[in-house]
Structure 1
Amino acid sequence: MPLRGNPGITVLVLFLVVLSGCTQPDKTVLHIPVNVSVNITSETPASPLPLLTQTAFTTSSSDTTTVTRPEAQSTPAATLSEPVIPGGYLHYTGADYSLDYPATWGINVTTLPLREYHHTWNGCSVTLAWQLDQELRMYYSGDNSTLFYSSVVNTQRDIWPRDLNTQIDYADIINSILGDPDYCANTPIGAFTISDVTDAPLAGVSYKAIRVDFGKINATGFTEGTGTVYIITGKNRRGVFTFYSSSLDPGVKATISGYMFNSLRLDSSF
């Protein structure tokens, strides 16, 4: 159909239509992600873990292990002398004593006949104590470089090995835990050096322990290291609590050993 009217006006109208199309803003394309939750929250620190208690029964019906995970607490940044303890500490409560130990450690429990060590001018011999067993409970790190041993004997007898001067032979006691219990200390293998002997206070009872610091100087089945042992002569029981570590970190013994021995609490009838 022919276009009627003023050609100038028609050209002007066409020009304005083209101009308006060129000046429109570009359209924005929205990319919608798949399976995105609309509930977005700001990042906040994790709240402390609630108190957790686990109970495990051993082969003895009278022995119950209660392990408690304490609430998380803020602690200062660790230094080389204070190694980080992953997960903090757990709390063990038994019939004879209670103790805190690193949460990542394992536990092994066994009952064995008690060895007696007899020193004479002709040498040293080992026999089994008459009707006496010892409960051995070992707490150990994942890399087996550090452990804590408890040995408890229900007796009022004097079970400590004596040297020719009738003094307690500490090396025999340590060797019975960390060496070969079927032999006396230093024969045929397993030498322990005693560096210090002092008294140590105990929580829960009025008497003290004999604290012995020691080092292992040759093959005994454990890697070279140092440790501390508490020898306890109680009213009704005899106990040996041993910390040993082959870790090269100087803070392990100072931190973990000190913490565990400080947490040790004996039953009042020990």
Structure 2
Amino acid sequence: MMPLRGTALMAVTVIVLLAISGCSQPDKTVLQTPLDITPGSTASPLQVSCQTAVIPAATGITTVTPYGQSYTASFPPDQTVTGNYQHYAGTDYSLDYPATWGINVTTLPLREYHHNSDGCTVTLAYELDQELRFFYSGDNTTIFSSSVVDTQRDIWPRDQDLHVDYADIVNSILGDPDYCANTPMGAFTISDVTDVPLTGVYYKGIRVDFGKINATGFTDGTGTAYIVTGVNRRGVFIFYTSSQDPVLRYTTSGYMFNSLRLDPGF
């Protein structure tokens, strides 16, 4: 994808990957448990202090970011529980997610990734934001994330051969969006790229299976991304887990992607 601005950008990486227990330090592993989208801080390249999320009972999640901004992710009024899953219905899409999971959401500026013979550079996308929403397990091992940009522009990063660089898209959400993928700040391997049908719209998406290399100290994991070039929007939906539990890796992942419904105007 092409996310995020300066210090605000690091909030996404922090939100997705830092542990509740504290900030990352140069001399210790950042995560002892696989995943946590609770805001924290990082010693490099930003100098910010740790903040702790406050989670109200059953109504949503109020988060204070390391940059002093707060936002609340309230559950939509039409959410219902079906079995062990809860239904989320938003403006752009709906899906079912495990009833014990939480939700976090924020809107941040988008970043662009430019590849040339001299390497890769990162810039701000012109007047474009993305809505980032995370559905996450209580044990911090698994997330389902969505990134939706309201645009008809081609926002996908491309390599020197003008092929879409899927590693950059994944890295922009699960890695460090201030850097291009497969740098010392985060590395992702792409294992498979195929077309995938989408419910609610007439066009297909691109399914990308990937793995995360432990280049940053974060726990390794595997995931699947659906990359959607819609009529009016661009979207990335990612299931990622560091758990070896086959129920999480396959059953839960399949259930959530199968429940994904896009708005006809997506």
TM-score normalised by structure 2 residue count: 0.71
Partner of 2:193: 197
Spell out the pairing of 1:13-32 with structure 2 (5 A cutoff): none
Instruction: Report the 3-state secondary structure (helix = DSSP H, G, I; strand = E; otherwise coil) of the residue aligned with 2:161.
Output: coil
Spell out the pairing of 1:103-114 with structure 2 (5 A cutoff): 103-114=99-110
> Residues of 2 paired with 1:108 and 1:220: CA distance?
23
**Aligned pair in 2 of structure 1 residues 111, 65: CA closer, same or farther (>3 Å)?**
farther
Instruction: Report the 3-state secondary structure (helix = DSSP H, G, I; strand = E; otherwise coil) of the residue aligned with 2:79.
Output: strand
Aligned length: 199
Aligned-pair Cα RMSD in Å: 2.1
> Residues of 2 paired with 1:64 and 1:167: CA distance?
38
Instruction: Report the 3-state secondary structure (helix = DSSP H, G, I; strand = E; otherwise coil) of the residue aligned with 2:145.
Output: strand
**Aligned pair in 2 of structure 1 residues 269, 153: CA closer, same or farther (>3 Å)?**
same
> Residues of 1 paired with 2:59 and 2:102: CA distance?
15
User: 1:179-228: per-residue Cα shift (whole Å, max 9, x none)?
Assistant: 00000001232111111100110000000110000001123464111000
The structural deviation recorded for 1:247 is 0.4
Choose which of 127, 130, 135 in structure 1 pairs with 2:131: 135
> Is contact 2:76–2:88 with CA below 8 Å preserved after alignment?
no
Choose which of 78, 90, 95 in structure 2 pairs with 1:66: 78
> Residues of 1 paired with 2:136 and 2:202: CA distance?
29
Paired-residue identity, %: 73
The structural deviation recorded for 1:64 is 4.7
> Residues of 2 paired with 1:127 and 1:236: CA distance?
23
* Alignment of 1:217 onto 2:213: yes
Choose which of 164, 180, 185 in structure 1 pairs with 2:176: 180
Q: Which amino acid aligns with 1:213?
A: D
> Is contact 2:184–2:215 with CA below 8 Å preserved after alignment?
no
Larger radius of gyration: 1
> Residues of 2 paired with 1:221 and 1:116: CA distance?
25
> Is contact 1:91–1:98 with CA below 8 Å preserved after alignment?
yes
**Aligned pair in 2 of structure 1 residues 57, 194: CA closer, same or farther (>3 Å)?**
closer
Structure 1, unaligned runs of 5 or more: 1-53, 73-87
> Residues of 2 paired with 1:211 and 1:107: CA distance?
23
Partner of 2:155: 159
Choose which of 243, 246, 263 in structure 1 pairs with 2:239: 243
> Residues of 2 paired with 1:103 and 1:64: CA distance?
14
The structural deviation recorded for 1:150 is 0.2
User: 1:36-58: per-residue Cα shift (whole Å, max 9, x none)?
Assistant: xxxxxxxxxxxxxxxxxx99799
Partner of 1:229: 225
Hey, which bits of structure 1, 4+ residues long, moved more than 4 A? 54-60
> Is contact 1:55–1:67 with CA below 8 Å preserved after alignment?
no
Q: Which amino acid aligns with 2:215?
A: A
> Residues of 2 paired with 1:116 and 1:173: CA distance?
10
Q: Which amino acid aligns with 1:202?
A: L
Q: Which amino acid aligns with 2:144?
A: F
> Residues of 2 paired with 1:259 and 1:141: CA distance?
15
Instruction: Report the 3-state secondary structure (helix = DSSP H, G, I; strand = E; otherwise coil) of the residue aligned with 1:66.
Output: coil
**Aligned pair in 2 of structure 1 residues 56, 106: CA closer, same or farther (>3 Å)?**
closer
> Is contact 1:65–1:92 with CA below 8 Å preserved after alignment?
no
**Aligned pair in 2 of structure 1 residues 221, 112: CA closer, same or farther (>3 Å)?**
farther
The structural deviation recorded for 1:146 is 0.4
Q: Which amino acid aligns with 1:158?
A: D
Q: Which has the higher relative contact order, 1 or 2, with Cα contacts under 8 A spaced 6 or more apart?
A: 2
Q: Which amino acid aligns with 1:95?
A: T
**Aligned pair in 2 of structure 1 residues 261, 221: CA closer, same or farther (>3 Å)?**
farther
TM-score normalised by structure 1 residue count: 0.70
Partner of 1:267: 263
> Residues of 2 paired with 1:259 and 1:242: CA distance?
13
> Residues of 2 paired with 1:249 and 1:64: CA distance?
30
